[in-house]
Amino acid sequence: MSITIKLDLPEDVAAEARAAGLLEPEPLAELVNSELQRRRAGRRLIELMDHLHAVPGEPMSMEEIDAEVKAVRAARRGREAGH
pLDDT of residue 9: 97
Q: What is the pTM of this model?
A: 0.60
Q: What is the pLDDT of residues 30-44, one digit of tens each?
A: 999 999 999 999 999
First to last CA, the chain: 57
Q: State the average pLDDT for the chain.
A: 94
pLDDT digits (tens, 9 = 90+) for 39-66: 999 999 999 999 988 999 988 999 999 9
**Alpha-carbon torsion, ordered 45, 50, 51, 57, to 10 deg:** 130
Asked if the model's pLDDT at residue 72 lies above 80, the reply is: yes
13: helix, strand or coil: helix
83: pLDDT strictly greater than 70: no
The pLDDT value given to residue 41: 98
